[in-house]
Amino acid sequence: GMAISVQPSVFATLRSQSKYLVASRALIGYQSNKMLRSGSAKCDLAARTFTHNFKQAHLDT
């Protein structure tokens, strides 16, 4: 009981740090999701463009 009454500031610090960690983890998750989504969209576009060009080239021959 003594340690807890002596060091309330340590617990307050830990609590605020854990809040910060949770917030930053959420932000990191959001950013990486955004990057993944835009990355996969670019890949889809590239694949579609390639398929289209490929078909066009083979229609000509």
Model pLDDT, residue 17: 86
Q: Which amino acid is at 55?
A: K
Angle in degrees, CA 24, 27, 33, rounded to 5: 140
Q: Which amino acid is at 2?
A: M
pLDDT of 9 > 80? The answer is yes
pLDDT tens across 20-56, in order? 888 888 888 888 888 888 888 888 888 899 988 888 8
pTM for the model stands at 0.43
**19 token code pair:** 């809040």
Long-range contacts for 30-34 (Cβ within 8 Å, ≥24 apart)?
A: none
pLDDT of 1 > 80? The answer is no
